[in-house]
């Protein structure tokens, strides 16, 4: 028997016969606690999330997703949804809930003539990159190949090629969605357009996406990319120069800044291992010769310890940071958006790097804009379209005894940087304890999101997420 949490705060016990019937109706099957497949589904990227769902449904296709939604609705169950399992907040797994596991739905089908791809929600970015690059095409996504495509897309999606080709959501042509009523809906610019709008940045609030249909772009198989490593002592001057450089940068050029203790990378002199450094991570989404010219000013800054900018396979560059972001470590993030980086903000950042709570912890700052910034604010649920900087305070450590020190450090830096921020943030970087921040994330788009939520999920069935509450009905008007 399985004990499952209900939406009204109670619980029910589901008998073995009912579970057996559910299992027989599914292509993928179910797992109770202790059974094969149960731990594989509940253990996710962030080791701070160690929760025990009451039952797991392993979906193999859209029909299984429909069955899961119907079973949960019929029994008034809390249901969480796991795709790639990479979200920092860990909403994929909830104690006592029915866990819908989409991780087996990994198909990626590319049409090289139309330059499109159909991608299932369990696919990782590595799956997408390998299939699209087989045809010399790419989808703008993130920077870590083990990230899931579903969570990344539904929150917005940005990375090395965003300035050139837009966000992941800007390349979403349509989606197949199972909504709270169990119906399968195709949404695009012409059909269920309000749902299509909401999915592009509104997270998992509106249904379970069972297939994404993306537009692709020609790029690769190699890109000019790599790292430039500087001593942290040069960071104030370098960051000031970088803000000037990015103001006029070619859309194809993306530069992210990472500040941390230097890992033992093979190309770094051993005497720098474990010392604080500033790293420029750069990628040019265009022709090699043009990339050489576009990066010349960046490479001329300061006196670097090492410069390893060169042609790299795009698939390899997309996975370059995977070793520093492997599953199984404890992680906590805090994030701000900035219109610019004034000297006071730079000083605050550099000072904090001198007090890192763990050698695995870091701060990265992504510069976005270009094609992303040319999309009007109201065109998608994701609202922050200006050319700006996105900061992620990424604390990462191995053992629970360091929880307080690492989390406190991240929160302090977040608070110290708040005076320089725009007040907005990237929803995929928000931890579980920032429930009150969701409204600021969506800004002027929040009201419309609430209205669409009320249309497709009036009971807030999909609530295990950065939740958008349905707008209250005006009974008098009805």
Residues 269-310 have pLDDT tens digits of 999 999 999 999 999 999 999 999 999 999 999 999 999 999
| Residue 229 counted as domain residue | yes
Cβ neighbours, 10 Å, residue 296:
9
Report residue 407 as tokens: 């989390």
Do 398 and 284 have their domain in common?
A: yes
Do 114 and 96 have their domain in common?
A: no
Which of these three, 174, 193, 218, is where a domain ends? 218
Do 127 and 171 have their domain in common?
A: yes
Burial of 341 (0-12, 13-18, 19+ CB in 10 A): buried
- Asked if 171 and 140 count as a contact pair (C-beta separation under 8 A), the reply is yes
**Residue 1: predicted pLDDT:** 81
Share of residues in the chain with pLDDT > 70 (%): 99
| Residue 45 counted as domain residue | yes
Do 210 and 227 have their domain in common?
A: no
| Residue 148 counted as domain residue | yes
Which of these three, 58, 82, 101, is where a domain ends? 101
| Residue 81 counted as domain residue | yes
Q: How far is CA 61 from CA 64, 118, 211, 294, in A?
A: 5, 14, 9, 45
- Asked if 108 and 120 count as a contact pair (C-beta separation under 8 A), the reply is yes
| Residue 240 counted as domain residue | yes
Interatomic CA distance for residues 210 and 123, integer angstroms: 11
CATH number, domain containing residue 96: 3.30.43.10
- pLDDT greater than 50 at residue 478: no
Do 17 and 81 have their domain in common?
A: yes
Do 131 and 164 have their domain in common?
A: yes
Report residue 340 as tokens: 């610019």
Do 62 and 134 have their domain in common?
A: no
Confidence of residue 473 (pLDDT cuts 50, 70, 90): low
Kindly report the average pLDDT of the chain as a whole number: 96
Instruction: Show Cβ contacts of residue 277 under 8 Å, excluding neighbours closer than 6 positions.
Output: 229, 230, 231, 232, 259, 260, 261, 262, 305
Q: What is the mean pLDDT of residues 141-162?
A: 97
Cα separation of the two ends of the chain: 44
Name the residue with higher pLDDT: 14 or 472: 14
- pLDDT greater than 80 at residue 475: no
**Residue 427: predicted pLDDT:** 96
Q: What is the mean pLDDT of residues 236-256?
A: 95
Each residue's pLDDT tens digit, 27-72 = 999 999 999 999 999 999 999 999 999 999 999 999 999 999 999 9
Q: Chain-centre distance of CA 61, in angstroms?
A: 23
Report residue 38 as tokens: 């149960």
Q: What is the DSSP letter of 77?
A: B
Do 13 and 155 have their domain in common?
A: no
Interatomic CA distance for residues 465 and 123, integer angstroms: 19
Instruction: Show Cβ contacts of residue 284 under 8 Å, excluding neighbours closer than 6 positions.
Output: 223, 224, 225, 250, 252, 253, 254, 290, 291, 294, 295
| Residue 473 counted as domain residue | no
CA proximity to 161, closest of 189, 139, 186:
139
CATH number, domain containing residue 131: 3.30.465.10
Enclosing domain of residue 39: 2-101
Report residue 319 as tokens: 């996975």
Q: What is the mean pLDDT of residues 244-255?
A: 94
Do 295 and 202 have their domain in common?
A: no
| Residue 27 counted as domain residue | yes
- Asked if 456 and 207 count as a contact pair (C-beta separation under 8 A), the reply is yes
Interatomic CA distance for residues 352 and 393, integer angstroms: 10
Report residue 239 as tokens: 């960051």
- pLDDT greater than 50 at residue 476: no
Do 196 and 255 have their domain in common?
A: no
Which of these three, 101, 116, 150, is where a domain ends? 101
Dihedral pair phi/psi, residue 455, rounded to 5°: -75, -40
Do 326 and 257 have their domain in common?
A: yes
CATH number, domain containing residue 239: 3.40.462.20
| Residue 47 counted as domain residue | yes
Q: Which of 185-194, 207-216, 239-248, 305-314 is least confident?
A: 239-248
Question: What's the pTM?
Answer: 0.96
Interatomic CA distance for residues 467 and 83, integer angstroms: 17
The structural domain count of the chain equals: 3
Q: How far is CA 45 from CA 30, 87, 119, 329, 396, in A?
A: 22, 8, 21, 8, 12
Do 305 and 237 have their domain in common?
A: yes
Confidence of residue 387 (pLDDT cuts 50, 70, 90): confident
- Beta strands per DSSP E along 2-138: 2-5, 11-14, 30-31, 55-58, 79-82, 98-101, 108-111, 116-119, 137-138
């Amino acid at each position: 028997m399985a004990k499952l949490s209900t939406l009204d705060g109670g619980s029910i016990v589901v008998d073995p016969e009912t579970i057996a019937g559910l299992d027989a109706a599914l292509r993928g099957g179910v797992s109770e606690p202790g059974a094969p497949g149960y731990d594989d589904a509940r253990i996710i990227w962030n080791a701070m999330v160690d929760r025990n769902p009451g039952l797991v449904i392993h979906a193999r296709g859209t029909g299984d997703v429909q069955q899961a939604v119907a079973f949960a609705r019929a029994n008034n169950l809390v249901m969480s949804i796991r795709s790639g399992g990479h979200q920092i907040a860990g909403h994929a797994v909830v104690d006592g809930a029915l866990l819908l596991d989409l991780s087996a739905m990994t198909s990626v089908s590319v049409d090289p003539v139309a330059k499109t791809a159909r991608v299932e929600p369990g696919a990782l970015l590595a799956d997408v990159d390998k299939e699209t690059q087989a045809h010399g095409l790419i989808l703008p996504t993130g920077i870590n190949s083990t990230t899931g495509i579903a969570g990344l897309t539904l929150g917005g999606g940005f990375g090395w090629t965003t300035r050139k080709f837009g966000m992941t959501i800007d390349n979403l042509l349509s989606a197949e969605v199972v909504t709270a009523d169990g119906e399968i809906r195709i949404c695009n610019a012409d059909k269920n357009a309000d749902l299509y709008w909401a999915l592009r940045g509104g997270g998992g609030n509106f249904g379970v996406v069972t297939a994404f249909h993306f537009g692709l772009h020609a790029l690769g198989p190699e890109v000019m990319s790599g790292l430039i490593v500087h001593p942290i002592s040069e960071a104030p001057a370098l960051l000031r120069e970088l803000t000037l450089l990015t103001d006029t940068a070619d859309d194809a050029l993306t530069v992210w800044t990472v500040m941390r203790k230097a890992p033992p990378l093979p190309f770094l002199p051993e005497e720098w291992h474990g010392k604080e450094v500033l790293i420029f991570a750069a990628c040019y989404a265009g022709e090699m010769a043009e990339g050489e010219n576009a990066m010349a000013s960046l490479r001329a800054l300061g006196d670097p310890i090492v410069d390893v900018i060169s042609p790299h396979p795009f698939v390899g560059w997309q996975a370059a940071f995977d070793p520093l972001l492997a599953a199984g470590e404890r992680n906590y993030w805090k994030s701000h958006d900035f219109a610019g980086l004034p000297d006071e903000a730079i000083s605050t950042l550099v000072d904090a790097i001198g007090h890192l709570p763990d050698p695995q912890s870091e701060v990265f700052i992504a510069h976005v804009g270009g094609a992303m910034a040319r999309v009007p604010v109201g065109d998608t649920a994701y609202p922050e379209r200006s050319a700006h900087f996105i900061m992620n305070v990424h604390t990462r450590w191995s053992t629970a005894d360091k929880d307080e020190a690492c989390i406190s450090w991240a929160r302090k830096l977040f608070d110290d940087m708040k005076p320089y921020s725009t007040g907005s943030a990237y929803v995929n970087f928000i931890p579980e304890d920032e429930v009150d921040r969701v409204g600021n994330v969506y800004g002027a788009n929040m009201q419309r999101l609430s209205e669409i939520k009320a249309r497709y999920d009036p009971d807030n069935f999909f609530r295990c997420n950065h939740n958008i509450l349905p707008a209250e009905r005006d009974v008098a008007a009805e």
